[in-house]
Structure formats: C-alpha cells, structure tokens
Amino acid sequence: MKRAIVFLSLIILAIAVNYTFASAASRVTVSINPPSVQANMGDKITYTGTITNHSDKAVDNVIAYISLANITQGKESPMDLEDWSANKAIKVDAIPPHGTYEGKWPMRLIDSGSYVAYIMVVDKHDNTPVSSTMSHLEIQRVLRLNPNNVLPIALGEPVLIGLVFLFITIKRRKADK
C-alpha cells in the first residue's frame, strides 16, 4: 500500500512538473541569431534576438537581455558587458498573441578567446526565465601594433627632446659668457 501511494505521488508530481514546464515553455520562446560567429578583436557584430509569443493573450512588460560567458580553457567565467555592449536590457511593452518582437544587441569584440552568447527573457507572469540556445563566438587575437614602427619613436622622442634641451642649455651658456 505504501509503495502504491509513493508511486502515485511521484506520477502526480511528474505530471504537475511537466504541465508547469510545458505551459511556461509554450508561452514565450526566444532565439538568437547568428548561431555562431568567428571574428577578430576590435570587430563589431550585432546579435538579433527574436521573442515569440505562443499564447492567445498578449504578453506585456517582458525584459530581454544578452549574456556572455567566457568558455576559454582555464578562463571560464561570466563576462561583464559594460565594455562589450551598450545595449544590455530591452524592455518590451507588448507582444501580440502569436506575434514576435525582434531586439538587437550590438557588440564590440574586445578580447580574444572562446565565448557563448545567449539571450534571457523574463516574463513577470512566469516564475521561470526563458533562455535562447547558445551562440558560439570565437574571437581571434589581432596584433594591430607594429613594434618596428613603435620602437624608434619610443626611444627617439626622449633622445630628441633631451638633445633639444642640451642645445638650448649650451646656447644660453655661450650667450652668458
């Protein structure tokens, strides 16, 4: 008898969890485009997120934001988007029934490595945020500095300024005599 009660309780719990997940998942979904990017440091890219309302009622006051995580071996961590993107969160006032909203997140690539970008949507009527799939982002390191051009200037400027001061000092001493 105890086994039957435990078994029935587990079945009811599984049905309730499945129903809750299905109702939350069927209300709003989000996708990210492009699904993967290969670019260089300093490039500018734009991610597009499409939020789709699958319900028969309008969805209002939805917040969508992009997140970035570093997945480079040994450097795994979430990223602060302060330097990467000016558009972090977008407030969507209303999405009509069975309608969509398209948001854009421009991003400047500032560091090399392997990353994933994904969009999160928070609907105040659901307890579970909705996430897009991950967009893989590979950023190649670009050396934009030519050491052969910099070294002569880095060493030459101080020497040239020193020679100018030396010349002025010698001229003043000769003028004083």
**Least confident among 60-64, 121-125, 146-150:** 146-150
Alpha-carbon distance of 19 to 11, in angstroms, equals: 12
Alpha-carbon distance of 123 to 92, in angstroms, equals: 10
Q: Does residue 82 contact residue 115 with C-beta atoms inside 8 Å?
A: no
pLDDT at 152 over 50: yes
Q: For residue 23, what pLDDT is reported?
A: 47
Of 118, 130, 15, nearest in space to 68 by CA: 118
Which of 11 and 63 is assigned the larger pLDDT?
A: 63
| Architecture of the 28-164 domain | Sandwich (2.60)
Paired tokens of 74: 């040994």
Read off the pLDDT of each residue in 23-40 and give the average, rounded to a whole number: 83
Paired tokens of 114: 């392997």
Q: For residue 5, what pLDDT is reported?
A: 61
